[in-house]
Structures are given as C-alpha cells and as structure tokens.
Chain A
C-alpha cells in the first residue's frame, strides 16, 4: 500500500493539470461554442425539421430530409460526382508534388524564386483562378487559338465548362498546398539516411522506395486528407469553370440550390451535414491506413 499523499487538494489537482491557469482557456471556449458548436448543432437540428412539402413527398416524419437525400437520385448522385472530382484531384496533387518537392529539396541558386512561383497560386482566390482559366483555356482563349494555329487541333477544344476545367482549377489551387506540405515533411528526413543507403549499394529508386517513401508516407496521408477536404468542398470553380448541371454538380452546389433556389433551409443543412459525413468516411479510411505505417522519428530536424 502506498503512503497517502500529504499534499493538499489544490496541489494534487494542480499535478493533474487542474489549476487557475485553465481560466485562460475561457475566451477560446466561449468563441468556439458561440461560433462553431452552437451553429453546428443548430444545423443538425434543422435537418430533423423538414418542410411540410418534404414530409409529404418522402414520408418518414422528422427523417424526411435524410430519406430524400438517399432516395432522390438527383441529390444522391452528387456524392459520387463530388468524389469523382475530389479523389482524383487530391491524388494527383499529392503524386505530382512528390517528385517536385524531392527535386527541389537541396540547395541551389534561385530556389526561393522557384518556390515563390510554385506557391503563388495559393494567394489567388478561386474566383480569380477560374476567371483566368476561362480567359486562357476558353474557346476563344490563347491556348485554343495557339493550338489551332499551329495545327494541333482543327477546331477549339473544350477545356473549360466541364469536368476538366474544375479539375484544372483544383490542381492550380491544391498543388502548391501539397507541394509546401510535402517539402516540409521531406526536410524532416535526415539526409544522411540516403547517404547511408547509397553506400550500402541502393540505387536512387531503391533509396526512394525503401527509405524515403516509407518515412514520407504518414506525411503523404496527411497531405492527401487536407487537399481532399479542400477539393471536396469545391464550389466557386464548379460553378464558374464547370458544368454545374452535369458532370460537376457537386454537393456544395446542391446545398446551395436547396438554400438559394428552393428556399429549403433544412434540406440544405442536410446536404451540408452529409458532405461532412462523406468527408469523415474518406478521412477515416486514410487514417486507418496511416496507423499501419511507421510514424516515429525520421532523424531530421523538421
């Protein structure tokens, strides 16, 4: 039996991290409750208060909105449409950023300039990117004019106002982001590990495959999740450079339609909540895979 602590109650609480310092959390807690938790719960509350029209059409009492979401193919298909856009875009951003970050990790002249150029698109809003894409890649744009004039194309190709347009805009805004993240993960890997592998006879591919990639994988998973979330909530570009009634009829557009055109606030909330659910499912799958990886120190200072 252990000796009874002689310390006072206040002292014992402080050892468990409970003391007056906790009061410092108050402003942040108040903010979070007022601006996130309350609106979020309010939104969930709305989803179970369907409009009379919805209840009549889909039945199910307070669950009418959810029944509508799963039963109405026009609504439910948007889940697949969004995934078809967000998953390939996130995957492309991660995969394309790996070699670029890998190549740019050493020290060389003009590195800062190149990094700045690569990161610049982050500072541009999605709307500006979309506008640029429309002007550059539209039917009358420079790209088409150029391709037609050099004889590659017979007539202007459709680069925007379809799936490709939105995909391009997601790459423009998402790639710099994943490049930055992967660069910082790479800099956390001790360069002497690669030197060691080299002296042990590993070729550059083996070094990448056996040393760099396993150590980078948890970072890639995190990067994938973040770019996926960015791409999944795509709204402006889906509307501006996409095909908002067809191949880029994403969930965010559907939610906006319910809210703005049908004035059905509860249904809009339902779609928004389901967006979150779909995202969480994808994130959970990636995180589950991530737990199977080595996640300890990578030797570097990053």
Chain B
C-alpha cells in the first residue's frame, strides 16, 4: 500500500463537549491536529477520552463545539460520511466473515470495483502479515491476529484519520510491546494521522508525537512526551506521568532559588510549578527514580527519614517502599536491596521535587488562593 497523500492539512476541534443528561463527560476540548501527527488521548478510565474519540468518529453526537477539517465543518456529517478509520478495543470484527471479507467490507460499502478491492485487500493483509490466515474466521485467530485484522480493516480505506480506542488493552504484555512498534511502523510508513486513546502512560509516551491528558472530561495538558514527562503542569498530570510520591505539604518560604516546603516528615527545597503561595497548601511530587537513599556520610539538611517496609525486585534495580514518620509510604529506587525494617534517609534534587498547588478546578488550573494568602500575610 502506497503512502497516502493527506486528505487535509489541519483538523481543528473547538470547544468539543458531550453531556449525558446534565453530566459533562467531555467539556471544552480544543485541539489542532496537523496531518501526519500521532496524538494520544491519555487519562484514567472515565476521563472522557473514549467519549472524545466516539464524538470524533461521529458515533456520539456532540452537545457542544465544532470539528473542522481545514475550512470544512465535519461534525454535522454522519459517521459513514466522515471516512475515518476506527479500531475498537474489542476489535469488533464481524464474526461471520472471513479475514478477507472483513477487510473488504469497507471497500464494498464504498462501491470500489471488484478487482481493485481484491488488490487492496491482498496488500492490506500482507501489510499486517496475515497471508496465512486470510480465509479464516475471526474466532479462529488469536487476540494479536484479530487486532491486526482490525487495523487492516481500518487502514485499507486509506482514511484521512485513524481512531484507535485502547487497541492493545486486551493483549498480553509481550504482544502489547510488539503491536506498539507495529502500529507506530504502520503510522509512519503509510503517513497516517492517528488519534490513539489509552490509559497507559508508557504506551502514550512511547508512541505519540503529542499527548493530551484528560481528567474528568477536561484537558489538563497538551504537549510532547518530553514536555509532559519533565514538566507536568499540575499534580493530576504528575500523578499520571509516574510521580508516584505525592505528598501534602505547606509552603513555608518562596524565593528565587525555589520554594521551601514542609510537613510532619520533611522540610525540603523544591521547584514551584505555578500558583504556589507561601502559607498555602501544596502538593509535592517526586518520581521514585529521583528519590535516592542517602549515604551515611551525607549529613546535609533536606533529608527525609523513613523505615523500609517493602522491597521489590525490578530487574536492574529494587523498588523500595519506605514508611515515613507520619505513616506515608515513599517509593524509592535503589541499586542495593535494603532489609525491611532498616532506617534510611532519602534525598531528592530540589529541581526534581515539583511543588504544585493542591486545590485545582476542573480544568486543572489552581484555585485562587488570595484569601489564604491574605490570612498568611496578616
């Protein structure tokens, strides 16, 4: 199958929203997608990512907003007129049709000639390496093979946009890694524009050009994998991006070289990320790999004292769960395995200890703390 010329330059989502009887499953989604991009919609279950995808496909009518492809409004078109390819979580293969007929279905619906259909189906089957299974029914295939059929069925139509709804969540871990590479390969070699829904941050980070993090129907952050990984804008995103240690703290001091935060267990320096005021409640986020067990010579301040509770072997390293004075568990990476019950002292680079505003509105913006700040000043 040849690389398809893009059917559009930009796809623009403006104020996209979908409510179910007063409950907004998705609200105010603004996004401009350039042709050829791989976008991942990322978020916990119920965050509205699948709703967004179904709205894009036209399977769910919008309640707010518009979708425009270049200058043409497409949210008023029916799903069969949009011509997007969609891959479903449960594959949704037609159980009574062979692999070939499944893949040919969309071409037949578009009244493509018989010889052309045959040629394109053969190409698509070769592309997903299922030549040996062309005549089989979906029920006779393994999960990974069914997933390939579903992908072939969607891309054989050379769609302007491919929508994927958690396509790998029903596969086992090893197959998931293989299919990840496979999907990325198809996306690149065919020049597809892909929107990919997942709840797996690792999957999203490794596959996508840009990520959209959603929470409770609202966009929290849009950015490249690197931006999201190193600079999450709020603690929800941080939580999702692997900042496993999320601690409630109070800001005691804020200056040019960062903020000083403290609670019962710690008194350390960190980096403020927007909307943090002295005296206000904040949330400290640290990745397990940024927290280290300090050596016995290290006597500087900013150490967190804890007792080792759990040690898990993770291949090259150990993941250690240590309980601080207040009972909070801190997760740490360590090359050596401490014994449960050992007293340890933990250290973090102030640049890698992010301090976020604790109270966020639905869109993930810090709630104004003027009242609190005023009290602190008096």
Contacts and interface: CB of A to CB of B under 8 A. Distances in A.
Contacts of B90: 190, 192, 299
Contact of B80 (A190, A203, A298): A203
Interface string A287-302: 0000000101111000
Given A193-B95, A199-B82, A199-B154, 20 more contacts: A192-B90, A195-B59, A195-B86, A196-B153, A197-B105, A197-B109, A199-B80, A200-B106, A200-B153, A201-B80, A201-B83, A201-B106, A201-B109, A201-B110, A202-B109, A294-B95, A296-B96, A296-B137, A299-B90, A299-B95
Nearest to B57: A199
Nearest to A191: B92
B84 interface: yes
Contacts of B79: 198-199
A198 B95 contact: no
Interface stretch (A32-40, A44-52, A66-74, A208-216): A208-216
A200 B109 contact: yes
Contacts of B95: 193, 215, 294, 296-299
B92 A190 contact: yes
19 contacts: A192-B88, A193-B94, A193-B95, A195-B57, A195-B59, A195-B86, A196-B88, A196-B93, A199-B59, A199-B84, A199-B154, A200-B80, A200-B105, A201-B83, A203-B80, A210-B94, A294-B95, A296-B95, A297-B139
Contacts of B157: 200-201
A299 B92 contact: yes
Contacts of B36: none
B217 interface: no
A245 interface: no
B288 to A, nearest CB: 38
A206 interface: yes
B85 interface: yes
B74 to A, nearest CB: 14
Nearest to A298: B95
A257 to B, nearest CB: 48
B80 A196 contact: no
Interface in B92-123: 92-96, 105-106, 109-110
A288 to B, nearest CB: 19
B61 to A, nearest CB: 13
Interface string B59-88: 100000000000000000001101111101
Given A199-B80, A296-B139, A215 B96 contact: yes
Interface of A: 190, 192-193, 195-203, 206, 210-211, 214-215, 294, 296-299
Contacts of B82: 199
B86 A294 contact: no
A215 B90 CA distance: 17
B292 to A, nearest CB: 47
A200 B154 CA distance: 7
Residue of B79, B88, B96, B137 most packed against chain A (CB within 10 A)? B96
A291 to B, nearest CB: 14
A206 B82 CA distance: 17
List 5 tightest A-B contacts by C-beta distance, closest first: A200-B106, A294-B96, A196-B92, A201-B109, A192-B92
A40 B9 CA distance: 77
A198 B58 CA distance: 9
Contacts of B85: 199
A299 B109 CA distance: 22
Contacts of A203: 80
Contact of B96 (A190, A192, A199, A214): A214
A192 B94 CA distance: 10
A257 B32 CA distance: 81
Contacts of A206: 109
Most buried by B among A190, A196, A199, A215: A199
Contacts of A294: 95-96
Contacts of B110: 201
Interface in B250-268: none
B152 to A, nearest CB: 12
Contacts of A197: 94, 105, 109
